[in-house]
């Protein structure tokens, strides 16, 4: 016999002046292997057609479905209902990002601003002739870049970050990791001085208070603690 679980979700539509933030309880029968994606899809199809959320890949790859789940920022699609012993799950939208409606937030604009702020792309004067043999890269170096390139911009590190809540323009662990990624990429010609221009301030590397919830909540287990420390050491030397 499956058990009955209760999912409590915050419902609020900020674009509707009559809408008031309210918690709504949904009771449903748990199924084996049920994730919050499966549970919320079922709720939406049956009892509340109006519930908004942000699922895309439902496999923990795209980073769309971050939520505060029983007080912690997590990817809802990778969260199993069976992980909650008392069968009670409370869902809130991610903080620090503008609320669109219910559990749906606008991470896109935030990430776009961050990407432009840190110039999240290869900067080089070299022209590549794509009909010729590619530039050789040491295999370990390619692996190191890949390691940091695994970030999925889910925003959990930002939602869990005290600095991000106090400083609206803080680039977050996601932004600092991005800079660390380009700083070790052999295709990128930027120097530490160049990176200092981008992140050498309190909205950048010096804003981090080293509380490191970012590393705790990162669903890709990125080495955020050591990479932030690494960038800080480099930036102090500039």
Chain residues binding other proteins by CB under 8 A are 13, 15-16, 32-33, 35, 44-46, 49-52, 54-64, 78, 80, 100-101, 106-108, 111-112, 115-116, 119-122, 124, 126, 128, 130-139, 142-143, 145-146, 149-150, 152-153, 182, 185, 187-188
Name the residue nearer to other proteins (CB basis): 55 or 170.
55
Closest separation in Å from C-beta 130 to other proteins: 4
Closest separation in Å from C-beta 236 to other proteins: 26
Closest separation in Å from C-beta 210 to other proteins: 27
Strands 88-92 and 4-11: parallel
Closest separation in Å from C-beta 104 to other proteins: 8
Closest separation in Å from C-beta 191 to other proteins: 17
* CB neighbourhood size of 116 (10 A): 10
Closest separation in Å from C-beta 67 to other proteins: 15
Name the residue nearer to other proteins (CB basis): 15 or 210.
15
Name the residue nearer to other proteins (CB basis): 188 or 215.
188
Name the residue nearer to other proteins (CB basis): 178 or 231.
178
Name 12's Cβ contacts closer than 8 Å, sequence gap at least 6: 19, 20, 21, 22, 99, 101, 102
Name 20's Cβ contacts closer than 8 Å, sequence gap at least 6: 12
Helices (H), the chain: 36-46, 107-117, 139-149, 156-159, 162-166, 172-183, 192-199, 213-217, 224-237
26 to 10, 43, 75, 87, 155: CA distances (angstroms) = 11, 7, 20, 12, 26
Name the residue nearer to other proteins (CB basis): 10 or 62.
62
Name the residue nearer to other proteins (CB basis): 130 or 168.
130
């Amino acid at each position: 016999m499956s058990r009955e679980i209760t999912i409590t979700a915050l419902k609020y539509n900020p674009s509707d002046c009559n809408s008031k933030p309210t918690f709504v309880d949904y009771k449903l029968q748990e199924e084996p292997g049920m994730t919050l994606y499966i549970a919320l899809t079922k709720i939406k199809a049956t009892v509340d057609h109006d519930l908004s959320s942000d699922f895309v890949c439902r496999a923990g790859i795209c980073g769309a479905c971050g939520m505060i789940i029983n007080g912690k920022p997590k990817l809802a699609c990778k969260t199993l209902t069976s992980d909650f012993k008392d069968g009670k799950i409370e869902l809130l939208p991610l903080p620090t990002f503008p609320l669109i409606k219910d559990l749906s937030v606008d991470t896109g604009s935030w990430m776009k601003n961050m990407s432009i702020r840190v110039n999240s792309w290869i900067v080089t004067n070299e022209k590549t002739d794509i009909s010729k043999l590619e530039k050789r890269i040491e295999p370990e170096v390619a692996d190191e870049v890949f390691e940091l390139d695994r970030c999925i911009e889910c925003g959990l590190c930002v939602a869990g970050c005290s600095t991000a809540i106090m400083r609206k323009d803080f680039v977050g662990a996601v932004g600092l990791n991005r800079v660390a990624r380009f700083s070790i990429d052999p295709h990128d010609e930027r120097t530490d001085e160049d990176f200092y221009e981008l992140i050498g301030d309190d909205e950048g590397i010096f804003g981090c208070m080293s509380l490191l919830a970012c590393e705790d909540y990162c669903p890709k287990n990125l080495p955020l603690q050591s990479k932030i420390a690494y960038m800080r050491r480099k930036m102090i030397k500039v």
